[in-house]
Structure 1
Amino acid sequence: MSTLHIFSKPISYYATERLANLIQEHDSVLLVGDACYSTYLYRQFSSDLLFLAEDALARGLTINESDNALNYADFVALTLSTSQSITW
């Protein structure tokens, strides 16, 4: 069973040592809001790192082709495809 972890704040807001123990290898991590600023730092927790494209663009961040950017419809589909989601 996979879990979707949704982060809305920069990584400095969280106790990263706790996150490392709670996010499993098969889980997905989605960055929304100000968490998009810390994309590089969140990569340590998941190889399936995603972010909301609209939030990244609203913050003036560049989206590369290699980035896993989602729109709102993709976000909803991802939420429905996981067994549970946790918003941090």
Structure 2
Amino acid sequence: MAILHVFSSFQSFQRGRNVLAELTADDSVLLRADALYQLLSETGFASGSYAVAADALARGLDPAQFPHIEWIDYDDWVELVMQHQSSIDW
């Protein structure tokens, strides 16, 4: 089952961080809002992880500094949800 794991804050990331090691090839991770600050200290994000570009820019983060992340907009987020069988908002 393809699952989209959505992290929105530092606290949500701490609650769900163990899931990163257990992702299947069908699962995806989406970072948004304050969870984007995890990019500054975490290196465990697999290629193909997603993040909302507008949220990064609003926090002074430059998406170009994180080329291993696939940067998306809000419309892409909706498409991403539709591509997965379920979504977990940590």
TM-score of the superposed pair, with normalisation by structure 2 = 0.78
User: Which residue is equivalent to 1:85?
Assistant: 87
**TM alignment of 1:37-76, pairs within 5 A:** 37-39=37-39, 41=42, 43-44=43-44, 46-64=46-64, 66=67, 67-76=69-78
TM-score of the superposed pair, with normalisation by structure 1 = 0.79
Alignment RMSD: 2.5
User: Following the alignment from structure 1 to structure 2, what is the Cα–Cα distance between the partners of residues 12 and 82?
Assistant: 20
Instruction: Give the deviation of 1:48 after TM superposition.
Output: 2.5
* Number of aligned positions between the proteins: 86
Bigger mean CA offset, 70-79 vs 58-67: 58-67
Query: Aligned to 1:29, what secondary structure does the other structure show?
Result: strand
Instruction: Give the deviation of 1:39 after TM superposition.
Output: 2.0
User: Following the alignment from structure 1 to structure 2, what is the Cα–Cα distance between the partners of residues 80 and 48?
Assistant: 17
Q: List runs of 5+ in structure 1 lacking aligned partners.
A: none
